[in-house]
Amino acid sequence: TRYWRNWSSDVCSSDLHFWTLSVEWQFYILFSCTFFLYAKYISNFIKINQSFLLISCTLLCLLNFLSLTFHAANSRDYFTLNYRVWEFGCGILISMVKPKDAPNSTQISFLRFISYVMIIVSMLLIDKYSLLPGPVLVVPILATSFLIYSGDFKIKYRLLPGKFLSHIGNLSYSIYLWHWPLIVAIEYLFPNIRFKFFLLLLLIYLFSIV
């Protein structure tokens, strides 16, 4: 309860979460333009095979991450692309890495379980006092990368938790878009309502479905 009150007291004065869309589009435009220019004007003169591209992308991610570890982050860095290229690069690397032999369902299930644990640990340990962007983001980025990798392999879930997680996964982007406006609205309209947290969960879920 104390945590909820301290956190909700800062809600209306906090920045909205849509800044992440801005960072994403900065990368998407830069990434798309780079490959368009290569395909249109450079590919006829310089051929890049997948191995070279994989190594180059890996080095770029490492250099960007290392520059972050020796840099004192400020509020401006949090909202810009400068020190987040390595995060997008991890997604690119995972999309290029394809296993020769598909792991069995037990291995993939274990990998997903470890990923979920890493994400939950990140949720508990990373807060507004953490240095962001910073090395602490390695844990959730690796966990997300593992989930993306394991997504290539289909597993038939017979248990309710698996089906429920798949359902929430299908709603995840909608949940992301709706959760913060609803938090702000409830805090503004019903500041003293009881069971606010559970009401928010219900509303976020219903709005996301719609």
State the pTM of this model: 0.67
pLDDT, position 200: 92
Buried b / exposed e over 30-40, threshold 16 CB at 10 Å, is eeeeeeeeeee
H-type helices in the chain, by residue range? 2-8, 19-37, 50-69, 75-78, 85-96, 105-125, 138-150, 160-189, 196-209
Cα–Cα distances in angstroms (integers) from residue 9 to residues 14, 183, 186, 194, in the given order = 10, 11, 12, 15
Q: CA angle 86-107-99, nearest 5°?
A: 55
Own/partner long-range contacts of 16-19 (Cβ < 8 Å, ≥24 apart): 16/180, 16/181, 16/184, 17/176, 17/179, 17/180, 19/79
- Cα–Cα distance measured from residue 118 to residue 106, given in angstroms and rounded to the nearest whole number: 18
pLDDT, position 2: 47
- Cα–Cα distance measured from residue 56 to residue 67, given in angstroms and rounded to the nearest whole number: 16
- Cα–Cα distance measured from residue 202 to residue 205, given in angstroms and rounded to the nearest whole number: 5
pLDDT, position 1: 43
Helix, strand or coil for residue 41? helix
pLDDT, position 206: 95
pLDDT, position 7: 47
| Tens digit of pLDDT at every position of the chain (210 positions) | 444 445 444 444 445 677 888 888 888 888 888 888 877 877 777 777 667 777 877 887 788 777 777 766 666 777 778 878 888 888 888 877 766 665 677 777 788 889 889 999 999 988 878 877 778 888 999 898 888 887 766 655 555 566 787 888 899 999 998 998 898 888 888 888 888 889 899 999 999 999
Pair of tokens at residue 188: 């503004």
pLDDT, position 210: 92
pLDDT, position 14: 46
